[in-house]
Structure 1
Amino acid sequence: MPFMSVEKSVHVKATPQNCILAFKEAISTLDKYSIRCENTSTNTIEVDKKLSFTRGGNGENVSFSAKPVGSGCDILITVSSKGLPYLLWQRNCEKVAQDTLSAFSEKIQSYLTNEQDEKSVFLSAADEIKKYKELLDIGAISPDEYEAKKKQLLAL
């Protein structure tokens, strides 16, 4: 019987470093998962999932990779069975893949939110500065008032 794997992929707007951090946090929340190795130069992590003796089998191998693409990363989670043909262990591989992706998705949200908050604060400040510049241009405020407000908005 062939040995195969389950793959789950998703694109997230986060840096590879943040994806790695989120995945490590996700793995720490899952029972019986342990990181086997991590390669920061290729943004990959190899994980073992151990099973209890009552369920049989040897568990699953989980591979996580974050490939930078544009302003984010393509995430690929691959799960394969250890020591048993995939067709006998397919349901478990599917469940492990989904559980791993769900845990990662939950943890990456905090990084996405933080990045979006930083961007929205910057855009809001830029919009406000633009409004005050227009007021300066039409003579509604003085150059000193404009400079003071700009410094306040940029937190200088």
Structure 2
Amino acid sequence: MVNIEGDLHMTSGEGEGSYAKYSRRQTIVIDETKPVIEKAIIEVYKAILPKTMVIADLGCSAGPNTMFFMSNVINIIADHCSKLDEHDPIELQFFLNDLPGNDFNQLFRSLEKIKTSTTMYHKGDSLPSYYISGLPKSYYSRLFPRQSVHLFHSSYCLHWRSQVRLLI
């Protein structure tokens, strides 16, 4: 019998057969859905004007797509706040969720890429502070306290669901 939380995970690292090497399709989907993500982020921000916006990436795996998603969020928030001339800068808290067998070390070694891509995009403009935490646990169980996350993101992990939840 397979222990889903312990046994199921993507091939780690950046070598042959790794998720990082074979995740181009997911990158395309993240890029194509960027307008939807941007609209959701701005609507949440306008509705509650949080001092800290909490974002969870469910099924983040260990490849470049999580970095791409987080860079997009940081850029969207920075652009929006600069248009509003915000004096009280927002902070971003990212929770990266995947099964415990995920290569979180590889994921955290890649974090410098976010700093590089967002700094290049904004060319010296101030960026929101951001904090990143790993959450090694199955999303089949509860991950967060009630009403503690402003935005959930999942790119290509819901196909692992064994059932579709009925909406009433």
Same fold? TM cut 0.5? no
Q: Larger radius of gyration, structure 1 or 2?
A: 1
Higher relative contact order (CA 8 A, sep 6+): 2
TM-score scaled to structure 2, two decimals?
0.28
Higher fraction of strand: 1
Higher fraction of helix: 1
